[in-house]
């Protein structure tokens, strides 16, 4: 299922969504509720941002805007790949079930025939207990046993084959699901996977004890990175080399990050790293290590060894505050990244939840 909220949590979202729905110009239908449910639950960051944009300065959503938001940010999440896979899996399961039903029916018919024959043989034995009759009945009984054993064996074989087919379908679903969450160019998680991971991470964090000491060491941290002057790279050397740069930076991030860190490409040249359990110093240290590793590297532009390009990346780092929404968490990391860009690029900026401005106070390392 797409929604995994508890009854209590979904009731909270309902109470928050209804007042917002009633202020709009759209009718109060399921599509409208789906939009506002996802908005208040902060599970869909792209939709959240789009709604904020549409309702800026007191504007309200009309019917067309509501349906467009649903199609773009909710309905569109069933991709063509998902639909094709769902159809294929559905057809496969129907085929397996039909085959199993046919095999079970055949085995049932064999069992019924054997039962009828058994009754007849018992009557023959009771009616004519001479040795020849007994021998004939035993021969028929042996033959019938072989037939029923063959039918049961065929059913067992078909059930085993069906299990293999079902497992193959499961593997295909897993593969399609993984592909739908992976950025094809870099091999990192894509924006959809990142949004899901962030939503899950914040939900898990909300259930942890409110222990300030524990929060300092286990609260989620977010690192946003953006390749410096990427447009200039594309304009100067072409989009082919730009793709090469994206793959090289992604590989560096993947190599430096630990296994429990979600590493994603969330925009053209923008990357995100979600650290589910980390101190702010650890997150800053990781960002600094990534920044310096990328800055030291050289990416070859042609066949000649001297044709190499230096690439740098800027980072913004922050840590989740107690009770904070995903949107505020992401926005603060984005402000930290903007500060790195504004103050010269190729640096790491740490912005804490008690900082009111992206410029001061911040912690800079170049």
* Catalytic sites, residue numbers: 269
Reference 34, options 43, 168, 205; nearest CA is 43
Angle between helices 280-296 and 239-256 (to 10 degrees): 140
Q: Which residues contact 148 (CB under 8 A, 6 or more apart)?
A: 110, 111, 114
DSSP assignments along 218-247, one per residue: HS-EEEEEEETTHHHHHHHH-HHHHHHHHH
Residue 26 is inside which H or E element, if any?
none
Give Cα 82 to chain centroid, integer Å. 12
Report residue 182 as tokens.
Answer: 């992976």
Peptide bond into 361 cis (omega under 30): yes
Angle between helices 30-41 and 45-54 (to 10 degrees): 110
Reference 264, options 195, 336, 334; nearest CA is 195
Burial class (CB in 10 A: 0-12, 13-18, 19+), 74: middle
Give Cα 268 to chain centroid, integer Å. 20
Contacts 24+ apart (CB under 8 A), 112-116: 113/144, 113/147, 114/144, 114/145, 114/147, 114/148
């Amino acid at each position: 299922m797409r929604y995994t909220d508890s009854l209590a949590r979904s009731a909270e979202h309902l109470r928050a969504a209804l007042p917002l729905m009633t202020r709009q110009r759209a009718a109060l239908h399921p599509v409208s509720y789906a939009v506002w449910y996802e908005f208040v639950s902060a599970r869909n960051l792209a939709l959240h941002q789009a709604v904020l944009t549409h309702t800026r300065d007191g504007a309200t959503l009309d019917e067309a805007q509501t349906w467009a938001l649903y199609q773009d940010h909710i309905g569109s999440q069933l991709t063509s790949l998902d639909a094709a896979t769902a159809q294929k899996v559905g057809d496969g399961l129907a085929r397996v079930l039909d085959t199993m039903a046919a095999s079970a029916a055949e085995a049932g018919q064999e069992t019924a025939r054997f039962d009828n024959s058994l009754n007849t043989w018992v009557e023959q034995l009771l009616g004519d207990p001479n040795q020849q009759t007994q021998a004939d009945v035993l021969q028929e009984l042996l033959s019938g046993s072989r037939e029923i054993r063959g039918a049961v064996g065929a059913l067992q074989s078909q059930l085993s084959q069906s299990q293999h087919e079902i497992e193959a379908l499961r593997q295909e679903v897993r593969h399609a699901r993984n592909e739908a969450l992976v950025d094809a160019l870099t091999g990192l998680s894509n924006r959809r996977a990142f949004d899901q991971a962030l939503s899950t991470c914040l939900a898990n964090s909300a259930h942890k004890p409110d222990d300030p000491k524990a929060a300092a060491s286990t609260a989620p941290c977010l690192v946003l990175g953006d390749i410096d002057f990427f447009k200039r790279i594309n304009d100067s050397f072409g989009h082919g080399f730009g793709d090469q740069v994206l793959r090289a930076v992604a590989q560096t991030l993947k190599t430096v990050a630990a296994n429990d860190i979600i590493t994603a490409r969330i925009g053209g040249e923008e990357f995100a790293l979600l650290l589910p359990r980390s101190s702010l110093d650890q997150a800053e240290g990781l960002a600094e290590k990534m920044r310096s590793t990328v800055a030291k590297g050289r990416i070859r532009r042609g066949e000649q060894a001297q044709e190499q390009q230096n690439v740098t990346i800027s980072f913004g780092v922050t840590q989740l505050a107690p009770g904070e929404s995903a949107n505020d968490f992401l926005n603060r990391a984005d402000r930290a990244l903007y500060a790195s860009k504004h103050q010269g690029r190729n640096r790491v900026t740490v912005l804490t939840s008690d900082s009111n401005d992206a410029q001061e106070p911040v912690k800079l390392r170049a």
